[in-house]
Amino acid sequence: MSLRPSDWLLSPHEFPGFDRFELRAHEERGSQIHHTEWLHFEIPKRYALVNANDRIEEVIARSKVRDGLCFVSAMHITSGVYVNDAESGLLQDIAGWIEGLAPFGRDYRHHQTGEDNADAHLKSFLTNHALTAPITDGRLDFGTWQQIFYAEYDGRRPKRILVKVMGIG
């Protein structure tokens, strides 16, 4: 059994299923700021590549960090975060490439334990568990087309992304 393109949610400009932000910590010592939030969401499909960039920028704005680093972590073993272009054709190409390397429906050894998501674990190897991005003037300091994406390979249940912002205010 192979996946069809319609089995993937590909969202180059939005974060479908986003629920809320949760402030976990905020500390200021002199000009140093450390700010942590969780993004809560539930992706409505099992597989997705969604743009999280605007949500990350919202966390940075609330942190009041002007110059520093933003650490983003997918808090689940069957997901990832990565930086790339927000272009719909590219998202289709990425989804096809990932599916070709770790196809759904194979008889993986992990399935012998009663699980059905071995492909999700393998797919997560192809995207990063976490990333660190520069902040300058209170914004992500990226190239023209760079955006932060969340990659989901076992969705349809509550998940979180950790965003930790550190720097000077």
For the chain, domain boundaries: 5-168
Q: What pLDDT does 1 receive?
A: 58
pLDDT for 167: 98
Q: CATH number of 5-168: 3.40.1410.10, 3.90.180.10, 3.40.309.10, 2.60.120.460?
A: 2.60.120.460
pLDDT in tens, the chain (169 residues): 567 778 999 999 999 999 999 999 999 999 999 999 999 999 999 999 999 999 999 999 999 999 999 999 999 999 999 999 999 999 999 999 999 999 998 888 887 888 889 999 999 999 999 999 999 999 999 999 999 999 999 999 999 999 999 999 9
- Predicted local confidence at residue 109, as pLDDT: 83
User: Residue 23's pLDDT is what?
Assistant: 98
pTM: 0.94
Q: If you write DSSP's letter for every residue of 83-148 in order, what string do you get? A: EEE--HHHHHHHHHHHHHHS-TT---GGGGGT-S-HHHHHHHTTSBSEEEEEEETTEE---TTEEE
CA distances from 38 to 31, 71, 129, 142, 158 (A): 23, 12, 15, 22, 12
